[in-house]
Structure 1
Amino acid sequence: MEKEALEKVSDFALGEENLAFAPYFIGKSYLSLLNDKEVGIYNVTFEPGCRNNWHIHHGAGQILICIGGRGWYQEAGKDARLLNSGEVVYIAPEIKHWHGAVSDEAFAHLSLSVLVEGASNEWLEPVTDEAYNKLKIQ
Structure 2
Amino acid sequence: MKIVHSSERGPVDQRATVTGQVWFEPVLPATDGTTIASVTFAPGARTFWHSHEHGQVLQVVTGRGLVCSEGGEPEVIRAGDVVWVPAGERHWHGAAPDSVMTHLAVSLGTTHWAEEVA
The one-letter amino acid of 2:44's match is: G
What is the letter of the counterpart of residue 21 of structure 2?
K
Structure 2 gap ranges (5+): 1-8
Q: Match of 1:23, SS?
A: helix
Quickly say closer, same or farther: Cα 1:109–1:100, change in 2 above 3 A: same
Which of these residues, 81, 101, 109, is aligned with residue 107 of structure 1? Answer: 101
Greater relative contact order, per chain length (Cα 8 Å cut-off, separation 6+)? 2
**Residue 17 to residue 47, structure 1, CA distance change in 2 (3 Å):** farther
CA distance in 1 between partners of 2:22 and 2:42 (Å): 6
Identity of aligned residues (%): 31
The answer to whether the 8 A contact 1:16-1:30 is kept is no
- What is the Cα-based RMSD across aligned positions, in Å? 1.9
1:89 aligns to 2:83 (yes or no): yes
Secondary structure in 2 matching 1:125: coil
Structure 1 residue runs of 5 or longer lacking an equivalent are 1-14, 129-138
Alignment of 1:21-100 (within 5 A): 21-36=14-29, 39-58=34-53, 60-100=54-94
**Which amino acid in structure 2 is aligned with residue 109 of structure 1?**
H
Calculate the TM-score normalised by the size of structure 1: 0.71
Q: How many residues align?
A: 108
TM-score normalized by the length of structure 2: 0.82
Q: Corresponding residue for 2:112? A: 122
CA distance in 1, matches of 2:81, 2:92: 16
